[in-house]
Amino acid sequence: MGLIQYIVSRVGAYLIVLFVGVTITFFLPRLMPSDPIEGYIAQMQNQAGQSMNPETIEELRTSMRKLYGLEGSIVDQYVDYIKRVFISFDFGPSLASYPKPVSEFIFTALPWTLGLLGTALVVSWLIGNIIGLVAGFYHNSRWATLLEIFGVILYPIPYYILALVLILLFAYIWPIFPLSTTILPGPITWEKINSIIYNSFLPALTLVLAGFGWNILGMKALSFANKEEGYVTFARLKGTPSRTIMFSYVFRNSILPQITALALSIGGVFNGALLTEILFSYPGLGLLMRTAIGSGDFNLLYGTIIMSIVSVATAALIIDLVYPLLDPRIRFR
Amino acid sequence: MIKLNNLVATYTTERGQVNAVDGINIALPSGKIIGIAGESGCGKSTLLKVIYGDLIYPLALTSGNVEYGFTGDRGTEVTTRDIKEYWFRRISYIPQASMSSLNPVIRIRRQFVDFQGNVVDEAKILAEVREYVRSLDLPAEAIDAYPHQLSGGMRQRIMVAMGTFFKPDIILADEPTTALDVVVQKSILMLLMDIQEQMENTILFVSHDMGVHYQLTHKMLIMYAAKVVEFGDSEDVFSTSLHPYTKMLTDSLPTIGDDHIREGVSGRPPSLWDELVGCRFAARCPLATEICRQQEPALLEHKPGHFSACHHADQV
Ligand SMILES: Nc1ncnc2c1ncn2[C@@H]1O[C@H](COP(=O)(O)OP(=O)(O)OP(=O)(O)O)[C@@H](O)[C@H]1O
Ligand SMILES: [Mg+2]
C-alpha cells in the first residue's frame, strides 16, 4: 500500500524533526559558557534588594536546578526533559515572571501567531498562485505580462524593507492603520473581532505581499511549462473549453510542486512572521521570544523555540498529508 | 470525399517561413483507411494538423482549404473555416501512444466528458461511455481509473475508445502505436480496424511501419518533402508502384525467403528551406534525367485511381 507507506514516512519524519529539535534545545543551554542559574540568582538578588536570606537563595538554587532539570546525570536530565516537553507540555516556570508557567504565556501568544500567519499564508499562496496561473496561461496577453511584472518587482524586496515601507505609507503618511497593535482585553465580542481584524490587517498585508512574488513567479513558470504537456494539447484538440483546461488541467497539475514548495518554505515564512510581530508589536510568539531574550528568560525562550519547531513541523506535516488528496499517483500507487 | 484543395501550410520561425505542406491537391475517398507514409520531416503530422484544423501559431494555412464531405449543423458543407466546431464529434484525433496524452490527476471518465459544449446530463453520457467501452470488449471499470493505474496498452485502447465514441466521420491517427510492443500494437490496430469496419469512418493513419500500412490500409498516400508523390489503392501502391520513392520505401520491407541484400533508403530528402526546383526526389532517384531536375512533375492519375508525381512513372 503506497499511501500508508507515504503517511508513515511523513509522520516518521515529523517525529524525528520534533525529537531532534527538542534535543538541540536541551543541549544548547548546557553548552553555554556561563551558568545561567548563578546569573539569575544575582539578578534576583538585585531586584529584591538585599532582603533575600541565604536559605532562600539556597532553596532557589535547588529549585532552579530542578526547574532547569539540572539534577542527576545528563541522561536522567534528558529523559526527564523529553518527558516534560512531550507529555505534559511543561517548559517550567517563567523566570522573569516567576512562578507563572511558560506554557501559559505560550498558549496565549500562539493563537495570535497561528491566526496571523495562517491567514496570510493561505491568502498569499492562493491569490499568488491564481495570479501566476493566469500570467502563465495567458502569457501572450498584455495583462498577463503586467501580472508577471508585479511578481518580478515584489520578489526581490527584502521582507523588512517591504514591511517598513508599508508601515511608513499606511500607518504614518496616510494613517489608515495603527502603528502598533493594541487590543483590548476581555471576552470575544464583535467589537473585539473588528479590532483584531483592524489591527492585524497591515501585518498580514506585509506577509501576503512578501509571499506573493515567489508564488506568482513559481506558478507562472510552472503553468507556462505545463501548457506544453501532451494532455493539455490533447484536451485542446478534444475541444475542451479553455476554462476547464486552465483549471482541471494546467492548474491541477502545476499546483502540486507549489504545495511541496509551500511545505518547504514554511520555516522561512515563520521567521518572517516573528519579525512582523516585533515590527508591529503583535502579541504572538515572535514578540514573546523577543521579550524572553530581552529579559534573559531562558525557560520562556526555549519554550518559544520548541513551540516554533512544533508549529512549523506540524504545518509542514499537514501540507504533506493534504498532498495525496490532490495527487492520485500517491493515493493509488 | 475529403477534398484537400491546394493546401500550403507554413511554419513561422525565427529563421523565416517554411512550407511543411507545399501544394497538396487531392481528393481522399470516405469510409476508407488511408495510410500516410514518408520519411521523417516530410510533413505528415503537419498535413494531419491542417486537416484537423489545428492551425495555431507557428503553423498557418497560407492557401487552400479542406472540404470534409459532410454537412454541418447549419446545413452547409463543413470546411476548414468551421471544422473546429465539430472536433471530436465528427472529426477526431488519436494521439501517439503514451502516458502524456491523459491528464494524470483526474479520472479518465472526467476526461471522457470534458469535450466541448456543455455536457447536459453527465450521468447519462457516462452510462453511454461505459456501454460503448464494454462493446469494444474493454473493461468498463477502466474509465474509473486514473491514467497511471492502466497499462500502456489499455491506455491506448481507451484513447481509441475516446476518439471513436461519437462515431466521427473522420479519425486522424498520428503514429498511434509507436511506443507500444508489437503484440499490444497489433491488438490496438485490430481494434481500430474493427471499429472502422462497423462505423465506416475515414481513418487517416500515419506510420513509419510499411508492414503495418500493408496490413491495415485500403489506400496509401506517399509524401516526400512536403508534397504528395503517390496515391492509390494500397495493393497497387505496394505491388505496382508508380513512383521510385515509394519503391525505395517498400523495398526496405523484408519478405520471407528473400536473401539478397536490401538497399534501404539511401541519401536524405532536401531541406525545405532551400529553393526547390524540379522534382524534389531527383537527387536520390535512379531514374532521374534532365527534365526531372528542371521541371516539377505534376500529380497525375496514371491509372484509374492511381496517382503519381513522376516524369518517368511508366518506367518504375
Ligand atoms: N513547430 C514547428 N516549427 C517550425 N517548423 C516545424 C514545426 N513543426 C514541424 N516543423 C517542420 O516542418 C516539417 C514537417 O514536420 P512534420 O512534423 O509534419 O513531419 P513528419 O512527417 O510528421 O515527421 P515525423 O515522421 O518525424 O513525425 C519539418 O521540416 C519540421 O522541421
Ligand atoms: Mg510526425
CB B69 within 8 A of CB B1: yes
Cell of A222: 510552472
In a domain, A235, yes or no: yes
Domain CATH for A326? 1.10.3720.10
Confidence class for position B156, pLDDT limits 50, 70, 90: very high
Residue B97 has pLDDT above 70, yes or no: no
Determine the average pLDDT of the residues in B61-68.
96
CB B91 within 8 A of CB B67: no
Q: Are residues A64 and A184 located together in one domain of the fold?
A: no
Residue A110 has pLDDT above 70, yes or no: yes
In a domain, A192, yes or no: yes
CA distance B37 to chain A (A): 23
Q: Are residues A145 and A11 located together in one domain of the fold?
A: no
In a domain, A95, yes or no: no
For B211-234, what is each residue's pLDDT tens digit?
999 999 999 999 999 999 999 999
Beta-carbon separation of A241 and B116 below 8 A: yes
Whole-angstrom distance, CA of residue B139 vs CA of residue B58: 40
* In chain A, % of residues over pLDDT 90: 48
Confidence class for position A144, pLDDT limits 50, 70, 90: confident
Which of A60, A88, A116 is the last residue in one of the domains? A88
Q: Are residues A108 and A80 located together in one domain of the fold?
A: no
**pLDDT, chain A, mean:** 88
pLDDT of residue A99: 80
Distant-in-sequence, close-in-space partners of B42: CB < 8 Å, separation ≥ 6: B223, B224, B225, B226, B269
Nearest CA to ligand 1 atom 6: B11
For B2-40, what is each residue's pLDDT tens digit?
999 999 999 999 999 999 999 999 999 999 999 999 999
Determine the average pLDDT of the residues in A195-207.
90
Tally of structural domains, chain A: 2
In a domain, A164, yes or no: yes
Instruction: Determine the residue type at B209.
Output: D
Q: Are strands B170-174 and B2-13 parallel, antiparallel or unpaired?
A: unpaired
**What would you report as the CA-atom Rg of chain B, rounded to the nearest whole angstrom?**
21
In chain A, alpha helices (H): 2-30, 36-47, 54-68, 74-88, 102-137, 142-154, 159-167, 190-226, 230-238, 242-244, 252-280, 285-294, 298-326, 328-331
Residues with CB under 5 A from ligand 2 (ion): B 45
Beta-carbon separation of A244 and B115 below 8 A: no
Which range is least confidently modeled, A119-123, A188-192, A306-310, B96-100?
A: B96-100
Whole-angstrom distance, CA of residue B238 vs CA of residue B211: 10
pLDDT of residue A185: 73
For A56-109, what is each residue's pLDDT tens digit?
888 878 877 776 667 778 888 888 888 888 888 888 888 788 788 999 999 999
Confidence class for position B264, pLDDT limits 50, 70, 90: low
Whole-angstrom distance, CA of residue B204 vs CA of residue B171: 6
Which of B27, B5, B34 has its CA nearest to residue B170? Answer: B34
Determine the average pLDDT of the residues in A277-305.
90
In a domain, A94, yes or no: no
Of B87, B100, B146, which is closest to A332 when you measure between CB atoms? B146
Which of A23, A54, A88 is the last residue in one of the domains? A88
Which of A88, A120, A155 is the last residue in one of the domains? A88
Specify which residues B16 forms β-bridges with.
Answer: B13
- b/e per residue B150-171 (b: at least 16 CB within 10 A): beebbbbbbbbbbbbbbebbbb
pLDDT of residue A123: 94
Q: Are residues A51 and A134 located together in one domain of the fold?
A: no
CA distance B315 to chain A (A): 43
Residue A276 has pLDDT above 80, yes or no: yes
Determine the average pLDDT of the residues in B265-269.
79
Domains and CATH numbers, chain B: 1-86+204-281 (3.40.50.300)
pLDDT of residue A264: 85
Q: Which one is predicted more confidently, B104 or A264?
A: B104
The single-letter DSSP state of residue B87 is B
Q: Tell me the CA–centroid distance for residue B299 and ligand 1, in Å.
A: 22
Q: Are residues A83 and A121 located together in one domain of the fold?
A: no
In a domain, A206, yes or no: yes
Beta-carbon separation of B146 and A234 below 8 A: no
Of B52, B54, B146, which is closest to A328 when you measure between CB atoms? B146
CA distance B121 to chain A (A): 16
- Gap between the terminal Cα atoms of chain A: 7
Q: Are residues A154 and A206 located together in one domain of the fold?
A: yes
pLDDT of residue B115: 79
Determine the average pLDDT of the residues in A179-189.
78
Determine the average pLDDT of the residues in A8-14.
95
pLDDT of residue A319: 93
Look up the domain containing A266 and give its range: 102-331
Q: Are residues A69 and A120 located together in one domain of the fold?
A: no
Protein residues with CB under 6 Å of any ligand 1 atom: B 11, 13, 18, 20, 38, 40-46, 58, 272
Q: Are residues A45 and A133 located together in one domain of the fold?
A: no
Phi-psi region of B315 (alpha: psi -120 to 50; beta: other; left: phi over 0): alpha
∠ Cα A17 A20 A25 (to 5°): 125
From chain B, pick out residues whose CB is under 8 angstroms from the CB of A234: 93, 95, 101-102
Crossing angle between the packed helical segments A298-326 and A252-280, to the nearest 10 degrees: 160
From chain A, pick out residues whose CB is under 8 angstroms from the CB of B105: 252-253, 256, 326-329
Confidence class for position A1, pLDDT limits 50, 70, 90: low
Q: Is the pTM of this model over 0.90?
A: no
From chain B, pick out residues whose CB is under 8 angstroms from the CB of A239: 84, 87-88, 115-117
Query: Which of ligand 1's atoms lies nearest the C-alpha of B272?
Result: 29
Q: What is the ipTM of this complex?
A: 0.90
Q: Are residues A83 and A106 located together in one domain of the fold?
A: no
Residue B77 has pLDDT above 80, yes or no: yes
Q: Are residues A220 and A143 located together in one domain of the fold?
A: yes
Which of B17, B25, B30, B6 has its CA nearest to residue B229? Answer: B25
For B231-257, what is each residue's pLDDT tens digit?
999 999 999 999 999 999 988 666 555
Residue A324 has pLDDT above 60, yes or no: yes
The ligand whose atoms approach the alpha carbon of B59 most closely is 1
Confidence class for position A140, pLDDT limits 50, 70, 90: confident
The ligand whose atoms approach the alpha carbon of B38 most closely is 1
Q: Are residues A162 and A200 located together in one domain of the fold?
A: yes
Distant-in-sequence, close-in-space partners of A156: CB < 8 Å, separation ≥ 6: A213
**Could you give the 3-state DSSP secondary structure of residue B118?**
coil
Query: Which of ligand 1's atoms lies nearest the C-alpha of B44?
Result: 21
The chain A residues in contact with chain B (CB within 8 A) are 229-231, 233-235, 237-241, 244, 248-249, 252-253, 256, 326-329, 332
Residue A289 has pLDDT above 70, yes or no: yes
In a domain, A96, yes or no: no
Q: Are residues A123 and A227 located together in one domain of the fold?
A: yes
Which residue in A has a C-alpha nearest to residue B86's C-alpha?
A239
